[in-house]
Structure 1
Amino acid sequence: MVEELALAEDAVAACVDAPAWALPEHELIAALDVAHRLQQRLAAVTLTLIRELDGRGTARTQGASCTAVWLRERLRLTIPAARRLIDLATALDAGNPGIRQALADGHITPDQARVISDTATTVQTTAGTEAADKAVGVLTDWARQFDPTLLRKLGTRILDHVAPDIADAAAQAALEAEARRATRDRHLTLSEQTDGRLRLTGTLDAEAAGLFRAAIDPLTSPSGPDDSRSPGQRRHDALAEVCRLALRTGELPDSGGDPAQIVVTTTYDALTATLGAGTLDTGLQLTPETVRRLACDATLLPAVLGGAGQVLDVGRQRRLITGPLRRALVLRDRGCAFPGCDRPPRWCDAHHIRHWADGGPTSLTNAVLLCGHHHRHLHHSDWTVQLAGDGHPEFIPPAWLDPEQVPRRNHYHRRT
């Protein structure tokens, strides 16, 4: 298979720089059709490979918490995109050979395949396997004319075509299935941009959408005739105000043993002169004006760092990795330090590099921040961790994974 795919890759590569401008219009259209069909065929192969890797547990064997995280690292996918591929690969492997064949033949797209699979599952639950097979055939034919959105709408009444005697009773089941899919597909993605801002994208299920609107709608109206904010800006400010209200309740869970708080990182020179720009423990940058404003009604915890980002002074150390020592660890590691993990500090435990039971001290030089999965993985695998010369953690993979055992670092958390 690898050799065949390599040949196909070479053939596609040869077309990349081909002079498309020299082709007449009908050949351009024909080439587009072939390229599109080839995409679908490759998608079918990709799903087959993903299903096999997921079934073998390759991700956990190589240290990832799940296949979606492993695919993100391997293929540079987003987690939602990776999960959608895994779900589709699992669905097609679970008894939908007709859908898989249509995808392999280049007749449908992965998005259409997902719609057909979801609809067939609903039909099978309500009307049995025979009706589900008929539904796959009908929807596959419709897929030649309709995009995934229209195909899903048509699928809500597919029983009118394949099982009209139970169509009305099954319509309710279809609505319930749609609600379950909404619950399954709910997600919120926070994407950090280069200037320190966050981009929020996601899909809320009906209940969360109602809660969200109930919380921000009262805060989104213009504050007066001179309010020049756009609707989007008012929603942004409303969300920020909801977060402030939640923090003021004092009822939020602790973050790794500490209450919700602001940690401002600065250099020694800036600390002894004028307050400079601040960095939160999440890695986001704040302007000096924002830092001063937040400091008016929040606990300010100054931390002094050396040139390479080592923590020089955050207060008295304690026996456990809590308080000032944990804050120092958060400032240094920014989150789970295991390579490829993006878990934030509040999801992490403090791990003794040299175990406490073996006489290891509770100190910054003997600690590393790890999420629950990678904390367990480090204890039960051949991975080892050490501090490099610059004071930051690096992980040595087992020889079976990397014979040269080149140290690896986490690149998801920005370093000071």
Structure 2
Amino acid sequence: MIDELARAESAVASCADAAPWALSEHDLIAVLDTTHRLQQRLAAVQLAAVRELDGRGTAVAQGASSTAVWLRDRLRLDVSAARRLVGLAATLDVAPPGVRAALADGVVTVEQARVIADTAATVSTSAGVEVADGAVGVLVEWAGQFEPSVLRRMGARILDHAAPDLADAAAAAALAADDARAARDRHVTISEQAGGRLRLTGTLDAEAAALLRAVIDPLSAPSGTDDTRCAGQRRHDALADVCRLALRTGELPENGGDPAHVVVTTSYDGLTRQLGAGVLDVGLRLTADAVRRLACDAAVLPAVLGGAGQVLDVGRQRRLVTGALRRALVLRDGGCAFPGCDRPPRWCAAHHIRHWADGGPTSLDNAVLLCGHHHRHVHRSDWAVRLGADGHPEFVPPAWLDPDQLPRRNHYHRRT
């Protein structure tokens, strides 16, 4: 397989060097159709590899919390795209052979294959495997004419064609399957963008969508005739208002031993002179105006940093030393420090580099922030943790994973 893929890669590379301007319109269309078909065939091979790696537990063995997180780091994907890849691989693994064959032959797209597999699973539950195989044949034929969204709507009544006597009963099963898919596919993704902004994407199930609308709609109405905000901007501001209201209730669960709160790092001189920008505990930067607005309704705690960003001293909002130590860890590590992990500080706990049971002190030089998964992984694996010369944590992999045991660092939370 490796040799064949290498030859295919070489052939594609030679095509990439060709000049498309020299081709006729007919030939250009042929190139488009052929490359599209090849994409689907390659996707079938890739998905089979993803499914096998997931089944073997390769990602977890190498320290990742899931196959999706490992793929994000390995293939440099958005985590949402990595999750879709793993989910589709699992779906096709249990789909009728006709679905995988259609994708491998390049006659359906990846998204069409997902629709056909989901429909076949519903039909199989309500009408049996033989009827499901017949439905796959019909849907593969329709895939030559219809895009995935239309194909899914047509698939909802596929039994009208494959088994008319079972269509009504299957409609109820299809509705239940839609509810199950909504529960499976629900997610919200928060992606960092340039300038300290976040991109919020996701899919809500019907219940969560109703709750969001009930809260957002009254807060996003125009505030008067002089309100120049567009509808999207009003919804943005309404979501921010909802978050402020939630923080003010004091009923949010603790994160890492501290009440839910927003942490902003800025210089004292910049704050008093109303000129300094700030940095959130997740590494996002804020303008001086935003820092001043937050400071108007906040407890201001001192924190002294060295030239390389090491925390030299931190103030205490309460008498427990752990509270100040945690703030120091957040300032230093920015989140889970394990290589390749992007989990934020609120999902993390402090880990003793030299274990407390072995006499290790509770101090900044003996602590590192780790998410729950990597905290367990470090305790039960051969990964070693230490602080580098600059005072930031680095992780030495076990020899079986890296014979040279070169130290690795997390680059997701770097602020400079």
TM class by shorter chain equals over 0.9
1:133-182 residue CA offsets vs partner (Å, 9 max, x unmatched): 01100000000111111100100100101111111121121111111111
In the TM superposition, residue 261 of structure 1 has moved relative to its aligned partner by: 2.3
Equivalent residue number for residue 73 of structure 1: 73
Distance in 2, Cα, partners of 1:273 & 1:25: 64
Distance in 1, Cα, partners of 2:267 & 2:405: 35
2:201 is aligned with 1:201:
yes
Equivalent residue number for residue 124 of structure 1: 124
Distance in 2, Cα, partners of 1:251 & 1:61: 38
Give the aligned residue type for 1:397.
P
Equivalent residue number for residue 395 of structure 1: 395
Give the aligned residue type for 2:3.
E
Distance in 2, Cα, partners of 1:295 & 1:380: 42
Equivalent residue number for residue 332 of structure 2: 332
Q: Is the 8 A contact 1:394 1:407 kept in 2?
A: yes
1:218-240 residue CA offsets vs partner (Å, 9 max, x unmatched): 11111111111111111011111
Equivalent residue number for residue 53 of structure 1: 53
Change (3 A) 1:157 1:118: same
1:341-381 residue CA offsets vs partner (Å, 9 max, x unmatched): 01111111100011111111110011000001100110111
Q: Is the 8 A contact 1:262 1:298 kept in 2?
A: no
Q: Is the 8 A contact 1:258 1:323 kept in 2?
A: yes
In the TM superposition, residue 104 of structure 1 has moved relative to its aligned partner by: 0.5
Count the aligned residue pairs: 416
Please state whether the residue corresponding to 1:301 is helix, strand or coil. Answer: coil
Q: Any stretches of 5+ residues in structure 1 without a counterpart?
A: none
In the TM superposition, residue 404 of structure 1 has moved relative to its aligned partner by: 1.1
Please state whether the residue corresponding to 1:200 is helix, strand or coil. Answer: strand
Q: Which moved more, 1:209-218 or 1:320-329?
A: 320-329
Change (3 A) 1:319 1:233: closer
1:81-115 residue CA offsets vs partner (Å, 9 max, x unmatched): 22222222222222421100111111011100000
1:171-226 residue CA offsets vs partner (Å, 9 max, x unmatched): 12111111111111111111111200111111111111000000010111111111
Q: Which moved more, 1:197-206 or 1:269-278?
A: 269-278
Distance in 1, Cα, partners of 2:302 & 2:151: 57
Q: Note the 1:99-248 alignment, pairs <5 A.
A: 99-248=99-248
Distance in 2, Cα, partners of 1:130 & 1:365: 64
In the TM superposition, residue 75 of structure 1 has moved relative to its aligned partner by: 0.9
Give the aligned residue type for 2:2.
V
In the TM superposition, residue 29 of structure 1 has moved relative to its aligned partner by: 1.1
Q: Is the 8 A contact 2:338 2:410 kept in 1?
A: yes
In the TM superposition, residue 400 of structure 1 has moved relative to its aligned partner by: 1.1
Please state whether the residue corresponding to 2:199 is helix, strand or coil. Answer: strand
2:414 is aligned with 1:404:
no
Aligned identity (percent) is: 75
In the TM superposition, residue 301 of structure 1 has moved relative to its aligned partner by: 2.4
Equivalent residue number for residue 30 of structure 1: 30
Please state whether the residue corresponding to 1:408 is helix, strand or coil. Answer: coil
Distance in 2, Cα, partners of 1:66 & 1:365: 29
Give the aligned residue type for 1:107.
V
Q: Is the 8 A contact 1:319 1:362 kept in 2?
A: no
Change (3 A) 1:297 1:317: closer
Change (3 A) 1:271 1:222: closer
Give the aligned residue type for 1:162.
A
Please state whether the residue corresponding to 2:195 is helix, strand or coil. Answer: coil
Q: Is the 8 A contact 1:334 1:413 kept in 2?
A: yes
Distance in 2, Cα, partners of 1:345 & 1:148: 39
Q: Is the 8 A contact 1:321 1:350 kept in 2?
A: no
Distance in 2, Cα, partners of 1:169 & 1:383: 54
Q: Is the 8 A contact 2:301 2:315 kept in 1?
A: no
Please state whether the residue corresponding to 1:386 is helix, strand or coil. Answer: strand
Change (3 A) 1:318 1:261: closer
Equivalent residue number for residue 363 of structure 2: 363
In the TM superposition, residue 414 of structure 1 has moved relative to its aligned partner by: 2.6
Distance in 1, Cα, partners of 2:283 & 2:315: 21
Q: Any stretches of 5+ residues in structure 2 without a counterpart?
A: none
Please state whether the residue corresponding to 2:301 is helix, strand or coil. Answer: strand
Distance in 1, Cα, partners of 2:345 & 2:321: 13
Q: Note the 1:297-316 alignment, pairs <5 A.
A: 297-315=297-315
Change (3 A) 1:317 1:368: farther
In the TM superposition, residue 262 of structure 1 has moved relative to its aligned partner by: 3.0
Calculate the TM-score normalised by the size of structure 2: 0.96
Equivalent residue number for residue 82 of structure 1: 82
In the TM superposition, residue 322 of structure 1 has moved relative to its aligned partner by: 2.3
Calculate the TM-score normalised by the size of structure 1: 0.96
Please state whether the residue corresponding to 1:300 is helix, strand or coil. Answer: coil
Distance in 2, Cα, partners of 1:317 & 1:29: 67
Change (3 A) 1:299 1:316: closer
Distance in 1, Cα, partners of 2:196 & 2:236: 16
Equivalent residue number for residue 252 of structure 1: 252
Distance in 2, Cα, partners of 1:85 & 1:172: 29
Q: CA RMSD in A?
A: 1.7
Give the aligned residue type for 1:93.
D
Distance in 2, Cα, partners of 1:123 & 1:321: 60
Q: Is the 8 A contact 1:349 1:369 kept in 2?
A: yes
Change (3 A) 1:277 1:259: same
Q: Which moved more, 1:186-195 or 1:290-299?
A: 290-299
